[in-house]
């Protein structure tokens, strides 16, 4: 397997990106890791590493995309960006997957409009996030690729999410739910209600409308949501978690007795942190584009980058793109009949 890693992606690039790539290369010596970005910068970062794995390569890119760059213009204005060049390596068959912790909107726009483009019949690629709750993966899509929502897009998200859960995560019959403001069929916007009817006709294990609690309690494996709501949902999760953890920290520090308690309880808190940390999974697959693309969090450290690369491996090994291509063709034929 040949995996391209954007060396210029994360907020603190190139350190986490390069070091994460090295860790991944050490973990899987049979794979090739191709770092794409500024050659000088990458080389000088690699110099600090004792023994550079042989399966690390560098492809130079003149330009890089910043977090502040506007996704709508970067495809045209920065054709020599590490993202653009990296995605094209996959498009041209010179690599099997692309991993970046960079500007999500930019990778979406470049992949969809300039490089890999969509898998035939896919209306809108979706950004996916994989959480782990109680050691069980839950995948949510769309978490922000498309602010608008149409019933048909949501049905396609269900197809793609189901395939990812099955072939990349290895679940035998993933339970698929549709995020709504209540479990009853009558709940949701008209678009959501229509999507529910469409998904119910698909050959997958659809459990119907779900609510946020079902994301945490193991009731579903795949959460289908419109991108506007999905994006706000994961940000609510992130910021409420941060708020609660900060409130706990503040209160624990407010007296010497509770401070001692906190000290003794430290191992437990460390395990909690590991459990609620989305970086464990490391990357969010962009599903529906014609190639494996994994997008990591901007704040990724080297471990998250390594995990994102592992996610790319799972997606490639599971032939997720092939399965989506096939399913979309089948459902397009059915629709035409």
Q: List interacting residues with its own copies (CB under 8 A).
A: 133, 144, 147-149, 179-182, 187-190, 192, 211-213, 215-217, 227-229, 231-233, 235-245, 247-248, 251-252, 254-255, 257-258, 260-269, 271-272, 275-276
- For 209, phi and psi rounded to 5 degrees? -65, 140
Q: Which of residues 173 and 239 has its CB atom nearest to its own copies in the complex?
A: 239
Minimum CB separation of residue 12 from its own copies in Å reads 20
The string of DSSP letters for 158-183 reads: HHHHHHIIIIIS--SS-EEEEE-SSS
User: CA of 19: how far to CAs of 6, 10, 24, 84, 101, in Å?
Assistant: 12, 12, 9, 21, 13
Q: Which of residues 251 and 334 has its CB atom nearest to its own copies in the complex?
A: 251
Minimum CB separation of residue 277 from its own copies in Å reads 11
Q: Is the separation of the CB atoms in 222 and 158 below 8 Å?
A: yes
Q: Which of residues 48 and 213 has its CB atom nearest to its own copies in the complex?
A: 213
Q: Which of residues 45 and 180 has its CB atom nearest to its own copies in the complex?
A: 180
Minimum CB separation of residue 194 from its own copies in Å reads 13
Minimum CB separation of residue 149 from its own copies in Å reads 8
Q: Is the separation of the CB atoms in 125 and 118 below 8 Å?
A: yes
Q: Which of residues 30 and 186 has its CB atom nearest to its own copies in the complex?
A: 186
Q: Are strands 205-210 and 222-224 parallel, antiparallel or unpaired?
A: unpaired
Minimum CB separation of residue 141 from its own copies in Å reads 14
Query: CB-hemisphere CA count at 13 Å for 173?
Result: 5
Query: CA angle, corner 271, sides to 216 and 295, nearest 5?
Result: 60
Minimum CB separation of residue 75 from its own copies in Å reads 16
User: CA of 219: how far to CAs of 138, 185, 210, in Å?
Assistant: 10, 17, 9
Q: Which of residues 94 and 273 has its CB atom nearest to its own copies in the complex?
A: 273
């Amino acid at each position: 397997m040949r995996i391209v890693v954007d060396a210029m992606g994360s907020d603190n690039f190139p350190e986490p990106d390069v070091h994460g790539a090295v860790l991944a290369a050490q973990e899987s010596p049979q794979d090739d890791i191709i770092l794409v970005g500024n050659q000088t910068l990458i080389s000088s970062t690699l110099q600090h590493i004792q023994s550079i794995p042989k399966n690390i390569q560098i492809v130079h890119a003149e330009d890089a995309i910043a977090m502040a760059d506007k996704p709508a213009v970067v495809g045209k204005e920065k054709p020599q960006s590490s993202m653009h060049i990296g995605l094209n390596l996959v498009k041209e068959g010179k690599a099997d997957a692309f991993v970046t912790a960079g500007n999500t909107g930019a990778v979406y726009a470049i992949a969809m409009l300039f490089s890999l483009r969509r898998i035939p019949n896919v209306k809108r690629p979706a950004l996916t996030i994989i959480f782990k709750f109680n050691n069980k993966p839950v995948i949510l899509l769309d978490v922000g690729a498309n602010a608008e929502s149409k019933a048909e897009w949501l049905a396609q998200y269900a197809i793609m999410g189901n395939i990812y859960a099955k072939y990349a995560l290895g679940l035998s019959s993933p339970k698929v739910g549709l995020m709504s403001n209540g479990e009853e069929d009558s709940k949701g916007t008209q678009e959501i209600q229509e999507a529910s009817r469409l998904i119910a006709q698909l050959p997958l294990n659809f459990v119907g409308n779900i609510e946020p609690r079902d994301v945490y309690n193991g009731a579903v494996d795949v959460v289908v949501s419109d991108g506007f709501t999905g994006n706000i949902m994961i940000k609510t999760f992130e910021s409420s978690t941060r708020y609660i953890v900060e409130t706990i920290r503040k209160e624990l520090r407010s007296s010497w007795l509770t401070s001692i308690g906190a000290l003794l309880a430290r191992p437990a808190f460390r395990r909690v942190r590991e459990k609620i940390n989305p970086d464990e999974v490391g990357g969010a697959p962009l599903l529906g584009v014609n190639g494996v693309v994994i997008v990591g969090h901007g704040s990724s450290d080297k471990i998250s980058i390594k995990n994102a690369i592992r996610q790319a491996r799972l997606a490639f090994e599971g032939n997720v793109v092939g399965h989506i291509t096939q399913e979309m063709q089948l459902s397009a034929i059915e629709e035409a009949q």
